[in-house]
């Protein structure tokens, strides 16, 4: 064989391994989000994903944060590798901001139709305003109202329906199969479930949790939870037979004891100190969400420590807030969809936010069973091993 016909074994084949970039939501500091590495690694493999913390956290901010994000996204799009963007809540604003940087630095990429053919964007309760029929201050008022409602339900009312369902994710009942718990919650809280009344929207089932936080509970709290769950299971069987409305209300009142028992009384809620209900001495809810019980190694990340750093971070937040309330995100998504990007909206079943999948006619939507807006990280394998599968 002549030298000219020798195969060039030094030239590797193009890498077509799928890659993922995840943008996490509000308060998503490194120590809180590291549980997401599990499903990302399950679906894309080690070294084939990037997990970004949130700008709205106490982690220190890199000066070139969005320039670096834009470079990574652009390089992957240009390479032809299938790229999945996962953007949760405020992470969608950060993704769009990175895309703005990319369009400024590499405008030729936005004129290349091939660059978008392998781009899939998965949005979970994306932050901001999207409905073109909403106008002016009423749009902002509606979004702020939903955001305030989430804060009230999660932080100020430990016994709310939102926190009751949330407790069923952190510490699922041990006396009922997982699928029975999900079905029970849908019957007890139908007015809050996005799956009720939408039979055409596929539901990603909440699989048996792989993370067992029960072992972290002290014996008294564990026994208290088991007793509550036995009562609920017994009463629910009666409720199903009789279908009596007051029974449903009574069962919900019992379930609401679970989240209150997960944290001690708070000085911010002084009435809790005269409440006779049992409360643990440890704030187990915060321990889970803060990542204290996660098995993934904790890598200490630099934190905001000085007034100057905090001021710089606040200034950097201003353009992000402008994008959140300007409606520019919808324009971005429409443009990316026209160029060939695929969109999927992943809606937590019990999210307080209005689903916005209708703003992109060709986008797909799936409902993530049992999840609330906040509960993306405590049991990620239960949903995201399926939800994040590459297209």
Scan for tokens 């394998």, then name that residue: 381
Most distant CA pair in the chain, distance: 91
pLDDT reported for residue 273: 63
Cα–Cα distance for residue pair 299/237, rounded to 1 Å: 46
168: Cβ contacts below 8 Å, ≥ 6 apart: 181, 185, 255, 258, 370
Neighbour-count burial for 115-143, b at 16+ CB within 10 Å, e otherwise: bbebbbbbbbbbbbbbeeeeeeeebeeeb
Task: Say what the pTM is.
Answer: 0.87
Q: What is the CATH number of domain 16-133+300-387?
A: 3.40.50
Cα–Cα distance for residue pair 92/125, rounded to 1 Å: 9
Q: In what order do the strands lie in the sheet with 119-124?
A: 49-52, 19-23, 83-88, 119-124, 342-348, 364-368, 203-204
pLDDT reported for residue 272: 62
Cα–Cα distance for residue pair 236/247, rounded to 1 Å: 8
Alpha-helix runs per DSSP H in the chain? 30-33, 37-44, 65-79, 91-105, 136-151, 161-170, 178-188, 219-242, 245-255, 257-261, 284-289, 307-326, 328-338, 381-387
pLDDT reported for residue 49: 96
pLDDT per residue, tens digit, the chain (391 aa), is 344 444 444 555 567 899 999 999 888 889 999 999 999 999 999 999 999 999 888 887 888 999 999 999 999 999 999 999 999 998 998 999 999 999 999 999 998 989 999 999 999 998 876 565 554 444 566 666 777 777 767 655 778 899 999 999 999 999 999 999 999 999 999 999 999 988 899 999 999 998 999 999 999 999 999 999 999 999 888 877 666 566 888 999 999 999 999 988 776 666 666 667 899 999 999 999 999 999 888 877 655 554 344 434 444 555 566 666 566 678 888 899 999 999 999 999 999 887 877 778 899 999 999 999 989 999 999 999 999 998 7
Beta bridge partners of 49: 20
Integer CA distances (angstroms), 214 to 29, 196, 232, 281, 380, in order: 24, 30, 18, 15, 16
pLDDT reported for residue 61: 80
pLDDT reported for residue 246: 67
186: Cβ contacts below 8 Å, ≥ 6 apart: 193, 195, 196, 349
The SS3 assignment for 25 reads: coil
Q: Which two tokens stand for residue 212?
A: 């067992």
Cβ proximity of 230 and 255 under 8 Å: no
The SS3 assignment for 385 reads: helix
3-state secondary structure labels for all residues of 219-280: HHHHHHHHHHHHHHHHHHHHHHHHCCHHHHHHHHHHHCHHHHHCCCCCCCCHHHHHCCCCCC
Cα–Cα distance for residue pair 211/213, rounded to 1 Å: 6
Cα–Cα distance for residue pair 352/293, rounded to 1 Å: 27
- CA dihedral angle for residue 286, residue 290, residue 293, residue 297, rounded to 10 degrees: -170
Cα–Cα distance for residue pair 29/36, rounded to 1 Å: 12
pLDDT reported for residue 6: 44
pLDDT reported for residue 155: 56
């Amino acid at each position: 064989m002549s030298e000219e016909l020798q195969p060039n074994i030094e030239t590797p084949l193009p890498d077509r391994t799928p890659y993922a970039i995840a943008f996490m939501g509000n308060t998503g500091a490194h120590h809180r989000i590291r549980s997401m590495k599990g499903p990302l690694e399950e679906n894309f493999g080690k070294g084939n994903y990037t997990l970004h913390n949130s700008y709205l956290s106490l982690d220190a901010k890199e000066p070139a944060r969005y320039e670096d994000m834009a470079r990574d996204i652009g390089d992957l799009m240009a390479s032809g590798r299938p790229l999945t963007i996962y953007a949760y809540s405020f992470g969608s604003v950060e993704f769009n901001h990175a895309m703005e940087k990319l369009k400024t630095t590499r405008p030729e990429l936005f004129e290349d139709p091939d660059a978008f053919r392998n781009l899939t964007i998965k949005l979970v309760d994306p932050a901001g305003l999207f409905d073109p029929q909403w106008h002016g201050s009423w749009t902002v008022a509606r979004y702020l109202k939903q955001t305030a409602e989430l804060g009230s339900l999660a932080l100020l009312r430990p016994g709310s329906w939102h926190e009751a369902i949330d407790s069923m994710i952190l510490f699922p009942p041990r006396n009922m199969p997982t699928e029975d718990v999900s079905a029970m919650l849908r019957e007890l809280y139908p007015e809050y479930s996005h799956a009720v009344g939408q039979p055409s929207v596929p539901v990603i089932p909440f699989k048996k949790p792989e993370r067992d936080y029960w072992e972290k509970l002290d014996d008294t709290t564990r026994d208290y939870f088991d007793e509550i769950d036995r009562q609920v299971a017994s009463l629910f069987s009666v409720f199903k037979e009789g279908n009596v409305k007051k029974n449903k209300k009574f069962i919900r009142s019992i379930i609401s004891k679970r989240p209150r028992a997960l944290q001690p009384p708070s000085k911010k809620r002084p009435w809790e100190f005269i409440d006779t209900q049992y409360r643990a001495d440890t704030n187990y809810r915060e321990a889970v969400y803060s990542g204290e019980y996660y098995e993934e190694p904790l890598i200490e990340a630099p934190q905001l420590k000085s007034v100057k750093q905090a001021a710089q971070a606040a200034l950097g937040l201003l353009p992000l807030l402008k994008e959140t309330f300007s409606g520019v995100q919808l324009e971005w998504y429409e443009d990316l969809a026209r160029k060939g990007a695929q969109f999927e909206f992943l809606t937590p079943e019990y999210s307080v936010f209005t689903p916005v999948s209708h703003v992109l006619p060709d986008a797909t939507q799936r409902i993530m069973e049992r999840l609330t807006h906040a509960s993306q990280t405590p049991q990620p394998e239960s949903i995201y091993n399926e939800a994040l599968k590459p297209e």
